[in-house]
Amino acid sequence: MKTLFRMIVLSVPLAACSSLSIYYREGASVSRMQSDTTDCQVAALKDAPVANQVRQSPPIYFPGRTICNSAGQCYQTPGYWEPGRIYTVDVNAGLRGQVEAQCMARRGYQPVTLEPCKQNVKSQVPQQRTTKLPPLSSASCFVQFEDGSFQIITPTIASKQG
C-alpha cells in the first residue's frame, strides 16, 4: 500500500514537466476517473503484489597494466575485480500494470498521453481545471496546475467555442 501511495504522489510532480498519462473515457468526470484508477491500482496490487528480488550485475575484471619508465625498466600493476552493482527488481511490476489496464478497460477507459500545451495555446483559453474529460484530437494538450490538477485543451474545439 505504501508503494502505491508513493507511485501516486511521485507521479504528480513529474507530470508538470513532461507528458500527462491518464486513463480516458470521454465525458467521464475527472474525480470518477481518479477513483476508478485508484480502485484498479489497489485490485492490481492484490492480484500481482510487489515481489522484489535482489540482483547483482556481473563483476568486472580490470587487468593489470605494464608501465615502463624512460630507462626501459618495466613493472606490472596487478589486476583487480570490481564487484557488480546490487539492485532490486519488482518482478510483478509489468503484470501489475497489465492487470490495472485490463481493469480500467473493463470500465470503459483507454490510456492516453497528452503533451504540455505551448504558451500560445495556453493564452487563448481561460485557465480552468478540467472536471469532465472532453473530446480529444491529435492537437489536444494539457496545462498542469500547482495543486496537481490539470486542464485539457483541444485547440480546434477551443477556438470554435471562443
pLDDT score at 91: 97
For residues 128-150, give the mean pLDDT: 94
- What is the mean predicted confidence (pLDDT) over 94-108? 98
Q: What is the C-alpha R_g of the chain?
A: 25
Kindly list the domain boundaries of the chain, sorted by start residue.
2-51+91-161, 52-89
The span from the CA of 127 to the CA of 89, in Å, is 41
pLDDT category, 157, cuts 50, 70, 90? low
- Are the C-beta atoms of residues 145 and 129 closer than 8 Å to each other? yes
Q: What is the share, in percent, of the chain residues with pLDDT greater than 90?
A: 75
Question: Which pLDDT score, from 0 to 100, does residue 117 have?
Answer: 93
pLDDT confidence tier of residue 10, bands split at 50, 70 and 90: very low
Tell me the pairing of strands 141-144 and 110-116: parallel
Whether 3 has a pLDDT exceeding 70, the answer reads: no
- Beta partners for residue 112, in sequence order: 22
| Pair 85, 56: CB distance under 8 Å | yes
How far apart, in whole angstroms, are the C-alpha atoms of residue 19 and residue 23? 13
DSSP state of 132: B
Q: Which among 155, 134, 129, 103 is positioned nearest to 24, based on CA atoms?
A: 134
Work out the angle between the directed axes of helices 2-15 and 30-47 (0-180°, nearest 10).
Answer: 140
Of the candidates 104, 150, 105, 111, the one whose C-alpha atom is nearest the C-alpha of residue 22 is 111
